[in-house]
Every structure is written in structure tokens, then in C-alpha cells.
Amino acid sequence: MSKEQNLSVLLSSKSNEHYTPIEIVELAREMLGSIELDPASCLEANKTIKAKFFFSKKEDGLLCSWSAKTIWCNPPYGRIKAKSSQAIWLDKMIEEYKNNKFESGLLLINASTGNKWFKKVWDYPVCLLYRRIQFISDGVIKKQPTHSNAIVYFGKDIEQFKKSFSKIGKIIL
């Protein structure tokens, strides 16, 4: 197998559906109080997230307004029209926050610190996780995650963000 084929296998997935494990969701709830909106979700993921409202692929959270008090977002990875999906969701989160559509929100993304799009993350408090997240995909816990992760905070309660997420990572302000 060539280097390119090895890399393709390492970075590929049968599905872009990677559900957040309950331990991370519980920290998000601790931080936010409750999760009012998950703009990148589905019925299966919401069994764990328990957001009051969520947008599925059908509603397309990128096209909707995120009017809610609190937001949790674990966007689909991969690419949208040759651009990183995470970059697109990060831009949407920043836009909605700057337009006062929500008070407090968390965005779970790859810790792709060397990627151009990640530079925008440094304008917000971020938790770089000590361990890779073992996402749930196709009903199975992925035991060998290929990427490190970061949780970006949008809001004013930085002390609560530090209190909640310093348990699992390094907080960068």
C-alpha cells in the first residue's frame, strides 16, 4: 500500500456521524446549565445531547438562525465543496455569536492547529484535550481515534469554562 493509500485509510471514515460520548456532554451541560440547541445533530445523537431543539441534515443548521440561549455543536467532519466542514461550522458559530443569536456555546472540533482555518479559534477560550475522544459511530465506540480535539467556548463565563473543562484538557485564553 502506498503512503497516500495509508493516509487515506487512516483519515477516512465510513460515516461523518461521530457522536459525542456522554462524559463530554455532561461537561457541556455542567458548563452551559442545559443545552437549548444543537445545530448539527440528529435524533440518535440527541438521545445523549438532550438538546431542547436540534437541526438535522434535513434542516441544515448552516442555513438556519441559531436563536437560543445555549448551543452545543459537534459538527460533521469531512469537506463541503472542497472546504473543511469544520472551518465552515466554525465560521457559522462565530457569525451567530457576533450577531448575538446565543449567549453561550461550545464547539467541538479537531485540534488542527496547523490548519489555516484554525487561526480563528485563538480569538476565543479553547480547551485542548489531553486525550483523543473516542467517538461513537455506527453504534460502536471508536477505540483508535485519529485526531486530537479542541472545545472552543463562545460566551462570557470564562471561569465556569475553566472549571468544567480543565478536568479534561489545557485551557488556553
Residue 33, pLDDT > 90, answer yes
Can you give the pLDDT at residue 12?
39
- Where are the domains positioned within the chain? 3-172
How far is CA 57 from each of CA 42, 43, 64, 78, 108, rounded to the nearest angstrom? 7, 11, 11, 14, 18
pLDDT computed for residue 162 by the predictor: 97
**pLDDT at residue 80, as a whole number:** 84
Chain segment 85-117, per-residue pLDDT in tens = 899 999 999 999 999 999 999 999 999 899 999
Considering only CA atoms, which of 165, 170, 130, 172 is closest in space to residue 31?
165
What's the whole-number average pLDDT of the chain? 85
CA-atom Rg of the chain in angstroms: 15
Query: Given 1.20.950, 2.40.30, 1.20.140, 3.40.50, which CATH number is that of 3-172?
Result: 3.40.50
Q: What is the DSSP letter of 167?
A: T
Between 3 and 116, the more confident residue is 116
Helix, strand or coil for residue 138?
Answer: coil
The pLDDT assigned to 20 comes to 80
Angle in degrees, CA 127, 124, 17, rounded to 5: 60
Provide the whole-model pTM.
0.84
Q: Quote the CA–CA distance of 147 and 70 in Å, as a whole number.
A: 26
Gap between the Cα atoms of 1 and 163, Å rounded: 46
